[in-house]
Amino acid sequence: MSKQFDVIVIGGGPGGYIAAIRAAQLGFNVACIDEWKNATGGPALGGTCTNVGCIPSKALLQSSEHFEQAGHHFADHGINVSGLSLDLGKMQGRKDTVVKQNNDGVLYLFKKNKVTFFHARASFSASKDGFYDIKVSPAKDVAAPAKDEEIISGKHVIVATGSVARELPGAPFDENMILSNVGALRMGAVPKKLCLIGAGVIGLEMGSVWRRLGSDVTVLEGLPTFLGAVDQQIAKEALKAFTKQGLKIQLGVKVGEIKVVESGVSVAYVDAKGQAQVLEVDKLVVSIGRVANTAGLAPEAVGLSLDERGAILVDGDCKTNLSNVWAIGDVVRGPMLAHKAEEEGVAVAERIAGQHGHVNFNTVPWVIYTHPEIAWVGQNEEQLKAVGRAYKAGTFPFLANGRARALGDTTGMVKMLADAATDEILGVHIVGPMASELIAECVVAMEFRASSEDIARICHAHPSLSEATKEAALAVDKRTLNF
Ligand SMILES: Cc1cc2nc3c(=O)[nH]c(=O)nc-3n(C[C@H](O)[C@H](O)[C@H](O)COP(=O)(O)OP(=O)(O)OC[C@H]3O[C@@H](n4cnc5c(N)ncnc54)[C@H](O)[C@@H]3O)c2cc1C
């Protein structure tokens, strides 16, 4: 007889591993199956986020920012650095260590919470008697394949198989010359000239890393608007800062033929003025979005429905068309963010336990970890105008914030939007230092449906960047104290 579990989680990324842990905490007998392997064939839990996403990108952003500071800004502090050089191998090695610490951390958490882990590929096999049979096949080239294929059965299945980078037609990833996020994070030498197609979160973060390390970086974006999903006052400020740093961002381009040539990669495109251009670069990174990953899952074996884009079809509660089969994270609709996947994982485990897990999509924060960082939660000015909502806006520049001046990091602002009648905060948009951390206060405020006056009346430590949030709240009522 096959091994039986209360809950089988397919995928060990942030959605899957968190769902498995929460389900185990709630008393279920849980299995999690994940096929990702490290360089030596061992398990590498944590999915895209830990292996080729959030964590390695932030490690390289940190290292490259140190390099930039040492090279260009330490002198402002009276610190003279001579003989500055880059050991990219060491920098990449540090990044790999950070990734491994996170991989091992998840493995430890599985042991602690008694989650049974299979380092394998999972696919649906059949459903019978209220159970789903899942085929567990040894993942390719793993160090210690468990045994041959086996079938395990689960009363509930949570699919968390994530996403993969979208390819440009005619330019498949080879991860040597034409790179996805995977190759962009592991280059062994700094390319002299680098082109990124797609000025979204990943394109801007990767472009920033390699520019800081010395590449001449061009970013080509098809849309005419920079960061169209971001409040445009914030996006304009960010574009100014990135351009000043030397990122060459071209909007409204139409990419044509891409060829790997002797000297590198040639990218033909038509620019916003309609002029035909050809860019010759050493490497090309394509970051034009990600697609749901159901390869090898065999959804058809049980009749699991996908939408027209290949994502698993779910309702607001992450229920699929099959009873007791759930799907979360990047493989379903909604923002492709690690923390969104995690919240869905917790909510689904709690729903399986008969509780009322819930994800408030309106208060999911977004962050771009460039310098300056960009972070936001809730509605932006363009969205409020589009639905005719009456609002008040308050902004406060970091230039007028004492801590930002002491840090030498005064680019950007906090912008708060509140309902014109009730003063409830509808959105907060930040471009500037530590925006990723500052946004947390605004998320809490919005979860508790705070007004801008609530933030304005809370005592914030001085000197701190968070005072800019308080001042933006005061600005909603046109009474900033420091500007
Ligand atoms: C460069 C980059 C930077 C990013 N930075 C951020 C960031 O700063 N913040 C943020 O919130 N988000 C970030 N993201 C997005 C984030 O990584 C994803 O939203 C998140 O990983 C989604 O989690 P998930 O659990 O849904 O899927 P994934 O993390 O993709 O995990 C899916 C797992 O399922 C496994 N799997 C798939 N199919 C099978 C199968 N059939 N059998 C067994 N295992 C299977 C995969 O091997 C993988 O381990 C970034 C992404 C990239 C690419």
Burial (CB < 10 A; 0-12, 13-18, 19+), residue 416, is buried
Residue 146 above 60 pLDDT? no
pLDDT at residue number 286:
98
CA of 201 to the centre of ligand 1 (A): 15
Residues with CB under 6 A from ligand 1: 10-16, 33-36, 47-49, 53-54, 57, 121-123, 160-163, 181, 202, 293, 296-297, 329-331, 336-339, 341, 369
User: Tokens standing for 241?
Assistant: 């800062």
Closest residue (by CA) to atom 35 of ligand 1? 11
Q: What residues are paired with 219 via a beta bridge?
A: 196, 249
Confidence of residue 143 (pLDDT cuts 50, 70, 90): low
Residue 420 above 90 pLDDT? yes
Q: Which atom of ligand 1 is nearest to the CA of 47?
A: 49
Q: Which residue has the tokens 């086996």?
A: 150
Cα gap 146→144, rounded to integer Å: 6
Residue 291 above 90 pLDDT? yes
At 450, which amino acid appears?
A: A
Average pLDDT over residues 153-160: 98
Average pLDDT over residues 384-409: 98
The answer, yes or no, to whether the previous bond of 463 is cis (omega within 30 of 0) is yes
Neighbours of 307 (CB within 10 A): 12
Tell how far CA 35 is from the center of its chain: 21
User: Tokens standing for 431?
Assistant: 């471009």
CA pseudo-torsion sign 99, 100, 106, 109: negative
Cα gap 259→249, rounded to integer Å: 21
CA of 465 to the centre of ligand 1 (A): 31
What percent of the chain stands above pLDDT 70? 99
Confidence of residue 138 (pLDDT cuts 50, 70, 90): confident
Average pLDDT over residues 188-215: 98
Model pLDDT for residues 30-42, shown as the tens digit of each residue: 999 999 999 999 9
Confidence of residue 253 (pLDDT cuts 50, 70, 90): very high
The answer, yes or no, to whether the previous bond of 299 is cis (omega within 30 of 0) is no
Residue 262 above 80 pLDDT? yes
**Residues 147, 158 contacting (CB under 8 angstroms):** no
Model pLDDT for residues 203-250, shown as the tens digit of each residue: 999 999 999 999 999 999 999 999 999 999 999 999 999 999 999 999
Cα gap 431→366, rounded to integer Å: 12
Average pLDDT, the chain: 97
Q: What residues are paired with 194 via a beta bridge?
A: 217, 283
Q: pTM to 2 decimals?
A: 0.97
* Cα-based distances in Å from 126 to 113, 235, 373: 28, 49, 47
Confidence of residue 139 (pLDDT cuts 50, 70, 90): confident
First-to-last C-alpha distance (Å) of the chain: 72
pLDDT at residue number 2:
83
Burial (CB < 10 A; 0-12, 13-18, 19+), residue 168, is middle
CA of 163 to the centre of ligand 1 (A): 6
Average pLDDT over residues 377-388: 98
Where on the phi/psi map is residue 460: left (φ > 0), alpha (ψ -120 to 50), or beta?
Answer: beta
* Cα-based distances in Å from 267 to 2, 260, 273, 277, 291: 53, 9, 17, 8, 23
Give the length of the chain: 483
Tell how far CA 30 is from the center of its chain: 27
3-class SS string, the chain? CCEEEEEEEECCCHHHHHHHHHHHHCCCCEEEEECCECCCCCECCCHHHHHHCHHHHHHHHHHHHHHHHHHHHHHHHCCCCCCCCCCHHHHHHHHHHHHHHHHHHHHHHHHHCCCEEEEEEEEEEEEECCEEEEEEEECCCCCCCCCCCEEEEEEEEEECCCEEECCECCECCCCCCEECHHHHCCCCCCCCEEEEECCCHHHHHHHHHHHHCCCEEEEECCCCCCCCCCCHHHHHHHHHHHHHHCCEEECCCEEEEEEEECCEEEEEEECCCCCEEEEEECEEEECCCEEECCCCCCHHHCCCCECCCCCECCCCCCECCCCCEEECHHHCCCCCCHHHHHHHHHHHHHHHCCCCCCCCHHHCCEEECCCCEEEEEECCHHHHHHCCCCEEEEEEEHHHCHHHHHHCCCCCEEEEEEECCCCEEEEEEEEECCHHHHHHHHHHHHHCCCEHHHHHCCCCCCCCCHHHHHHHHHHHCCCCCCC
Cα gap 334→350, rounded to integer Å: 20
Average pLDDT over residues 183-193: 98
Closest residue (by CA) to atom 12 of ligand 1? 337
Q: Which atom of ligand 1 is nearest to the CA of 34?
A: 44
Model pLDDT for residues 78-109, shown as the tens digit of each residue: 999 999 999 999 999 999 999 999 999 999 99
Ligand 1 pocket mutation pick from 34, 45, 49 by most atoms within 8 angstroms of CB: 49
Which candidate, 454, 287, 441, 286, places its Cα nearest to that of 375?
Answer: 441
Ligand 1 pocket mutation pick from 45, 54, 98, 290 by most atoms within 8 angstroms of CB: 54
Closest residue (by CA) to atom 3 of ligand 1? 53
The residues annotated as belonging to the active site are 462
Lowest mean pLDDT among 135-149, 190-204, 329-343, 392-406: 135-149
Average pLDDT over residues 343-367: 97
Confidence of residue 148 (pLDDT cuts 50, 70, 90): confident
Residue 197 above 60 pLDDT? yes
Closest residue (by CA) to atom 27 of ligand 1? 162
CA of 14 to the centre of ligand 1 (A): 7
pLDDT at residue number 202:
96
